[in-house]
Structure 1
Amino acid sequence: MTVRPTWWRGSGDLTWLVALGAALWGTDALLRTPLAGALPASSIVFWEHLIIVVVLLPWLPRAWRAFRAMHPRARAAMVVIGAGSSALATVLFTLALMLGDPITPLVLQKIQPLVAALGAAWLLGERLRRGYWAYAVPALIGAWLLAFADPLDVGVRALTAALLAAAAAVLWAAGTVLGRYVGAASAASPWEITVLRFAIGLPAALVVLLVDGGPIAVTAGQLPPLVALALVPGLLGLALYYPGLRRTPAARATLAELAFPVTATVLGVTLLGGTLTATQVVGLVVVAVSVTALGLRERSRRPVVAAVGVRAPGR
């Protein structure tokens, strides 16, 4: 008989738990950046998923039964979360760290709330009012300023790193919306969704590794940081995140996830030797102010995203 965690049960909003899980993601670059200098991105991501799945083996049968009981649309969403938001997004993010500086790919994750709001409007039925774009447009301009040391002189390498980081942000934002959808449209627990995310992500990561041609074997010295990377920002972060997401509206949850780039930026400047140009600082401020203002507006009597209840397909 397997045992699954039940400590999230109870009542009340759990936005703080989403933020705590996201803050753990912010420690990712401390472990990922040194590894990125020694291993291809595909090898790192494959080993992350392999280590986590080995740890989660006792819970796989129950998670598989929960997956089989889902509506087909919920199963499709779960596959996108595992293959896209877990495996592919992490590969793209690692590549961005390899090509760019240690800060810009992290701070670009601040565009996630904007992407998630659009996704929630499309999938969850949350209605975007006209005022939404008053926050979205400045944030996108700020993201451009932030992405490049000189926004008027963009090199191919810097552009590639920014596009990779932005693509990762889009996939992770999609994971937020789809995770909220699966939690509402199925009987799967947050823990089962966590297990399925990595179980589905593992074969996807293996496919990416085989296509990339990266090495499967790692050295004894590389294994400890890979284990730490997999278990702390990876498994522990999501083990906190999904229970919080179950009782947190998507628009609010994705704002709580800003704890990730904020924590990562502070660590990047203080411990990884990262720096920002004057225009990048301006971009950072514009993005932070726009997204924070959006978050405050969402908690007013007339939010720009009108949230509705998520109804399970077929009900």
Structure 2
Amino acid sequence: MAGTFFIMAACFTWALDTLIRYPLLEQGYSTLQIVLIEHIALVLITAPLLIRYRRHYLQLSKKSFASLFFIGGIGSAVGTLAFTQAFQYLNPTVVILLQKLQPIVAILLAYWLLKEHIQTHFLRWAGVILLGSFVMIWPDIQTLNSSNLHYSPDQAEFLKGYGYTLLAVFAWGASTVCGKYLSMQALPANAIMSGRFFMGFVVLALMTLTSPDAIQSMQTSDLSLTVVMALLSGLIGMWLYYQGLKTLPAQMATLAELTFPVFAAAINWVFLDMSLSLYQVAGATLLIAGNIGLRMVEEAKSRQSVQQQAA
């Protein structure tokens, strides 16, 4: 029971992220500035880990270094930028729900890069997940079709929103595969996490040098909120999550994780007055159900494999 509580608490902290991230965007701060400050805070806090694991970093092969750079530069930096930017064009709850497409990206890339076999059940549940995503965006597809593809500001906005959302899905899904590869190379989890934040900071700093206009004077209260957001969803949330994993089977952890979009939808509905349409609710239900089915079957296959090896 304690493990479930820890993971649900982690999901709650991740859901609270929207209450800070979205208002900061409304204040006029750029996406780059918000994500850069997050990474500065995270790098400063995890600096002791960077020092502790410095020998591990120096011993990385070119492939391992490229994987770590991808996790940080693309996953942590570009992925978070795209995720945050999508909030400017779409309902944040929709953006969060569509992140549940990540398992499809991760499994396909693991098949391609890590040569992992794709089971038949994956195709079945992937179909359910994609159907749910399609139902969620169906009203926007209808709008686009009815206008005969003529440009309008509204169309441009939701197309940008879905584009940024899918970019975040790809960045984070691919980062999962790179992280798995680094784990297979025996790189400690804390080394991956701290390296991720540092690489993300490097990429964001370079972006800032090429886009200095994206940085503006920030009120002390807003700066404090950005740091709180980094601590809340970046550190505390992950600490709670891994505490839960210590005592909870993976299958139960997976189910507990799905409280995240539920918490996010409820919080955004109550505090940001961002309700979901009937299509979005129906699509979200299919999408979450597809994730539950996929992960439960994956867990069952994993247990069966372990039992066969033990026999």
- Aligned-pair distance for 1:156? 2.1
Counterpart of 1:59 in structure 2 is: 49
Question: One-letter code of the match for 2:195?
Answer: L
How far apart are the structure 2 equivalents of 1:120 and 1:253? 21
Question: One-letter code of the match for 2:83?
Answer: F
Counterpart of 1:35 in structure 2 is: 24
**Structure 2: which 5+ residue stretches go unaligned?**
145-154, 307-311
* Corresponding residue SS for 2:201: helix
Cα distance change, pair 258–185 in 1 and its aligned pair in 2 (3 A): farther
Counterpart of 2:117 in structure 1 is: 127
* Corresponding residue SS for 2:282: helix
Number of residue equivalences: 292
- Aligned-pair distance for 1:265? 2.1
Is residue 129 of structure 2 the alignment partner of residue 139 of structure 1?
Answer: yes
Which consecutive aligned stretches of 4+ in structure 1 deviate over 6 angstroms post-superposition?
14-19, 242-256
How far apart are the structure 1 equivalents of 2:142 and 2:81? 28
Instruction: For residues 30-57 of structure 1, give each alpha carbon's deviation from its aligned partner in whole angstroms, at most 9, with x where no partner exists.
Output: 1101111121100000000011112222
Is residue 81 of structure 2 the alignment partner of residue 91 of structure 1?
Answer: yes
Instruction: For residues 102-125 of structure 1, give each alpha carbon's deviation from its aligned partner in whole angstroms, at most 9, with x where no partner exists.
Output: 211111111112212212223333
Cα distance change, pair 242–185 in 1 and its aligned pair in 2 (3 A): farther
- Aligned-pair distance for 1:89? 0.6
Cα distance change, pair 152–165 in 1 and its aligned pair in 2 (3 A): same
Counterpart of 1:288 in structure 2 is: 288
Counterpart of 1:76 in structure 2 is: 66
Query: In the alignment, is the contact (CA less than 8 A) between 2:82 and 2:164 conserved in 1?
Result: yes
* Corresponding residue SS for 1:131: helix
Residues 199-210 of structure 1 mapped to structure 2, 5 A cutoff: 199-210=198-209
Counterpart of 2:175 in structure 1 is: 175
Structure 1 length as normaliser, TM-score?
A: 0.81
Cα distance change, pair 110–292 in 1 and its aligned pair in 2 (3 A): same
Query: In the alignment, is the contact (CA less than 8 A) between 1:116 and 1:250 conserved in 2?
Result: no
How far apart are the structure 1 equivalents of 2:253 and 2:104? 12
Residues 8-19 of structure 1 mapped to structure 2, 5 A cutoff: none
Instruction: For residues 148-199 of structure 1, give each alpha carbon's deviation from its aligned partner in whole angstroms, at most 9, with x where no partner exists.
Output: 544311422112101211211221122222222212213x322222111111
Cα distance change, pair 77–19 in 1 and its aligned pair in 2 (3 A): farther
Question: One-letter code of the match for 1:204?
Answer: V
Residues 196-275 of structure 1 mapped to structure 2, 5 A cutoff: 196-212=195-211, 213-215=213-215, 217-239=217-239, 258-275=258-275
Is residue 36 of structure 2 the alignment partner of residue 46 of structure 1?
Answer: yes
Instruction: For residues 239-277 of structure 1, give each alpha carbon's deviation from its aligned partner in whole angstroms, at most 9, with x where no partner exists.
Output: 455788899999998877544433322222222211111
How far apart are the structure 2 equivalents of 1:17 and 1:279? 32
Between 1:136-145 and 1:14-23, the stretch displaced more is 14-23
* Corresponding residue SS for 1:194: helix
Question: One-letter code of the match for 1:36?
Answer: L
Larger Rg: 2
**Structure 1: which 5+ residue stretches go unaligned?**
1-13, 308-315
Structure 2 length as normaliser, TM-score?
A: 0.82
Q: Return the structure number with greater helix share.
A: 2
How far apart are the structure 2 equivalents of 1:49 and 1:70? 23
Query: In the alignment, is the contact (CA less than 8 A) between 1:180 and 1:246 conserved in 2?
Result: no
Counterpart of 1:164 in structure 2 is: 164
How far apart are the structure 1 equivalents of 2:251 and 2:181? 13
Cα distance change, pair 259–182 in 1 and its aligned pair in 2 (3 A): farther
| Superposition RMSD in Å | 3.2
